[in-house]
Every structure is written in C-alpha cells, then in structure tokens.
Chain A
Amino acid sequence: MALLKINKLTKEFGGLKAVANFNIEINEGELIGLIGPNGAGKTTAFNLMTGVYEPTSGEMLFDDKSLVGLKPYEVTQRGIARTFQNIRLFSDLSVLDNVKIAYHFHVKYGLLESVLRVGRYYSEEDMIEQKAMECLKMFKLDDRRDEIAKNLPYGEQRRLEIARALAAQPKLLLLDEPAAGMNPQETHELMEMIRWIRDELKLTILLIEHDMSLVMGVCERIYVLDYGSIIAEGTPAEIRNNPCVIEAYLGEEVC
C-alpha cells in the first residue's frame, strides 16, 4: 500500500527549476534511498514534502491525503518526521529536553492546567519524561540526558537528532544525509541503527545520502535525482549498473 505518492512535483525559484517532474512512490515498511549529485534537488524535495517550500505544481499524497499547502508542523502532526543536513538540534538545551519537544503536540493539558498545575499536568509530564527516557535508552543516550546538546560529540548529536525525530512517532522518517561527516565505523553503526529502526519500530524510511556503501547496503530501492528530475529507479544492483546514473555522477555523454 502506497504510503507516500508524489506526482509531477515541480518547484521553481524565479526562472530556476529546482525540482521538476519528481515522481516517487513509497510503500509502507520500505527503506528507500534518494541519491544524486550535489545540487540535484534532494534536500529541496525533502523541503517540499515537509512543507518548508510550497510546490509550484504537482501533487503529494501521504496516506491518501494531500500534503500540498500544509505548514511544516502540520506535516509532522500527520506523521512525517525529518532530520536535517546540517544538524538542527536545540543546542543549548539538554539531551532530554531536546527529545521532550517531540511529544509536545501529543500533550493533553492546556495553558490553564500548566499554569495552575492542576488536572493532567503532573500525569502528562510524568508520561513525557518516561517516554523520552525510553527513547533515549533505545539510542543509548540515556546516560547523557542532562548533557547540553551542543557539547555532545558529532556522532551522538546525529543520533540524538534521529532519536528526536522518532520521538514524534512518525509513520515516515526522512533522513537527510545522516552519515555526513562520519567515519566508516560510525557509518556501519548507523546502518545497523537504520535497519533496526525499520524492523523493530515498523517505520518507513526515505533517506538522502552520498555515502554509497550506506545506500547500497541498506536501501531496498533507490531513486536517482539529477537536475531536479528522477532519472532512474531500481534496486541497488540495477542502479549501480545504470549508465545514466553513472553519467550523472561522472559526466560523460551516454544518455
């Protein structure tokens, strides 16, 4: 069953077509990769899906409901969570606080209850604390709970960003270059974590990556983007041998 269906998505900035004729289809439970040379429009595609940009034309259906025109927070509340190319943590807040934010839109107490500390305030706060700690434990960050986010080593920061995205309880997880800046050992651990997330938490994952070992090793299907359009789609083996893909990266007139 198609969880995410995007059809002829186009985004123009002035005269520049950043994304044109972008078509992808992702089924529940799949682990899909989105690759392409720098400037191909991958992050733009993410930004379109998550409501940061509004598309010039085209349609996006998530769970059979349109995403077009939604604000980013509405997209998240529908069930799509993302990470960012340049990590966007809440740098001066603690690890625990970073994750707690993700539970905000599920919270059941209003302004008055929070100020007077009556009703569901205490029970909801307890639940948030508990769930946030469970989330941290899953990502082995529970002993860092009071650490200030910006003081964490780079790899842990990336892990925290993923943990935070998952705390929002999405159906679809978008990862934007999660392996950027990681060494082979860290990349390997990341691959394990991504597989684990998909298998244990039953999530659907779409990831942008430049690290081919990660993409080929973890993704079931791959879309290739070049100059804003999808130029190829298939399994890792098919993509590896596709001449158009090779040309896009290495640049020889083949297609």
Chain B
Amino acid sequence: MEASSLTQQFFQQLINGISLGSIYALIALGYTMVYGIIRLINFAHGDIYMLGAYAGYFATTFFKMSFFPALIFSMVVASAVGVLIERLAYRPLRGAPKIAILITAIGVSLLLEYGGMILVTPQPRTFPELFTTTTYNFMGLIVNSQQVVILVISLALMFILTYVVNHTKVGKAMRAVSFDTDAARLMGINVDRIISFTFAIGSSLAAAAGILVGIYYNSIDPLMGIMPGLKAFVAAVLGGIGVIPGAMVGGVLLGVIEALVSGFLSSTFRDAAAFIILIVILLFRPAGLFGKNIREKV
C-alpha cells in the first residue's frame, strides 16, 4: 500500500539520517567549541576529520591495529595536529582583524588538503574490513552493524564530552574562558592552555568521525573533508554556534533533513539543503536553536 511504504521510506531515511547526523554532530562539536572559545570559524576543521580518517587508515593498514586502538591512535594524532595548528597559525593572530584570521584558517585548510594530495596522492584509499558487516532487518527497516557502531561510538563520545565540560575542573575553565576570556585570565586560568585543550578535544572528535566514516563508506581521499566540514559547520550554526548541546542536536537534525531530502526529493539537491538551511537560519534566527543574541554595545 502507498501509505505504509511511504512511512517505511520515512523511517528508513530517519535511520540513515541519524547515522549521518551523528557524524555531523561529532565534527560540529569541534567547530562550536572553538568558536565559543575564541570566536574563530576554524575552516581547517573539516580537514582534521580527513586527517583522522587517514591516521586510522595507516593504523589499520600498516600497523595492523584493530578498531579501538586505531580509533585512539587517530584521535591522539589529530589532537596533536590541532594543537600544533592553533599554536603556529592562530595564536599569533589573536588580536588581528577578523578577516585575517578567516583567511589564515582557509589557508591552513588548503595546506592540509593539497599537502595531503602531494603526500598520499589523490587516489582514494580503502579501509580494511574491521568488523563483519551484519545487516539487521527490523520491521522492514534495514540497519547495518556499522550504523550501530557509529551511533554507539558517537553517543559515547558525546556523553564523555558533556561530562568533561560540565563536571570537571577543566570543563569549568573552558566554560569560563568562552564566557569572558579576560575575567578567566584574571582568575588565574591559563587561557592559552585551555584553548589548546579545546582544540585537542575538538580535533579528536573530528578524527573519530573520520575513522567511522572511513569504515562505513570504505573510501577516503584528501578532499573528503570539504563538504562534511561545511555541512557540520551549518549544523553548528543551526544548533547555535558556541553552544555544545546545540551542535549535537544540529548535527543530527541536519543529517535527518539531508537524508529525507535525498530520499524524497532528489539526491542532487541534498548538498543545497544544508546551505539553504544556513541561509534561512542566518536570516531569521542567527543565534540558532539554542544560541543567544549578543548585541553590540553602542
């Protein structure tokens, strides 16, 4: 019957969307945390996700690691790179005009992408099979084990992040710095160290997303971070840039919307969906779902 197959399609796309959305959420968290703390849109963040995927690839292919060690490895590598980038490219520009920092971030992104192309060649690489793929059929809906893994890992990481941010001293320091950097400094918080830490965490989450995508879609290439990076950014804005739960909700929401558009409208317009959402949000509610509007003092 027409109606039931339509609802079935809907729920199927919902499932796909939640998987996709979890990936966006993981990447979006990095954007939102960095923006919250230093008001920088880290254009290079999508490429950290790519880096994570490659680190995972090398871990599993050359060092023959299994899933969890590879995950940890890639998260650590990405954190290190993220911290390095912040130190070398962003910290010197702390007081500079906004556009200079924006340009630098884009420059770092290009460096990672094209430097990557030179180092590992533009050839896509395939991930080795890390788990046996089982497909579950649940009331006519198809879920495969990789989607389950993505969901479980994402939830676990987001849970850990929330715990760190809300219940540890470091988390409190992060919140303080994002609220009022100068006051935090006066309270004895080592602002530079906290900023580095924020970059480290954000990068590690993006890396996790990268390795999960590498396992799920099997193929990785140096330019894989561009679109997901942009879309995850839209997700962060959707949820309210600078607000951590917002990034999680925004990511999943965007993933679901994209899956529904792709399933019910047309797959060529799926990319446009994210940008249209972006424009709508910016025009009607720039603070996003959970954000607050900040006025300039006259």
Q: How far is the CA of A7 from the CA of B298 in the complex (A)?
A: 23
Interface size band for A: under 10
Contact residues of A between 7 and 50, Cβ < 8 Å to B: 43, 47
Q: How far is the CA of A52 from the CA of B298 in the complex (A)?
A: 8
Interface size band for B: under 10
CB distance from B227 to the nearest CB of A (A): 38
Q: How far is the CA of A17 from the CA of B173 in the complex (A)?
A: 33
Q: How far is the CA of A84 from the CA of B298 in the complex (A)?
A: 8
Residue of B nearest to A43 (CB): B298
Chain A residues contacting B298 (CB-CB under 8 Å) are: 43, 47, 52, 84
Q: Is the interface of B mostly helix, strand, loop or mixed?
A: loop
Q: How far is the CA of A43 from the CA of B298 in the complex (A)?
A: 8
Residue of B nearest to A52 (CB): B298
CB distance from A233 to the nearest CB of B (A): 25
CB distance from A147 to the nearest CB of B (A): 22
CB distance from A39 to the nearest CB of B (A): 13
Chain B residues contacting A47 (CB-CB under 8 Å) are: 298
Residue of A nearest to B295 (CB): A13
Contact residues of B between 70 and 128, Cβ < 8 Å to A: none
CB distance from A114 to the nearest CB of B (A): 27
Report B259-298 CB contacts with A as 1/0, cut-off 8 Å.
0000000000000000000000000000000000000001
CB distance from B215 to the nearest CB of A (A): 48
Contact residues of B between 179 and 202, Cβ < 8 Å to A: none
Report A145-159 CB contacts with B as 1/0, cut-off 8 Å.
000000000000000
Residue of B nearest to A86 (CB): B297
Chain B residues contacting A43 (CB-CB under 8 Å) are: 298
Chain B residues contacting A52 (CB-CB under 8 Å) are: 298
CB distance from B77 to the nearest CB of A (A): 43
CB distance from B130 to the nearest CB of A (A): 52
CB distance from B193 to the nearest CB of A (A): 32
Report A40-82 CB contacts with B as 1/0, cut-off 8 Å.
0001000100001000000000000000000000000000000
Q: How far is the CA of A4 from the CA of B60 in the complex (A)?
A: 77
CB distance from A1 to the nearest CB of B (A): 30
Report B161-192 CB contacts with A as 1/0, cut-off 8 Å.
00000000000000000000000000000000
Q: How far is the CA of A241 from the CA of B298 in the complex (A)?
A: 33
Q: How far is the CA of A217 from the CA of B70 in the complex (A)?
A: 76
Q: How far is the CA of A52 from the CA of B295 in the complex (A)?
A: 11
Contact residues of B between 35 and 56, Cβ < 8 Å to A: none
Q: How far is the CA of A43 from the CA of B297 in the complex (A)?
A: 10
CB distance from A212 to the nearest CB of B (A): 25
Contact residues of A between 103 and 141, Cβ < 8 Å to B: none
CB distance from B15 to the nearest CB of A (A): 41
Interchain Cβ contacts under 8 Å between A and B, 4 examples: A43-B298, A47-B298, A52-B298, A84-B298
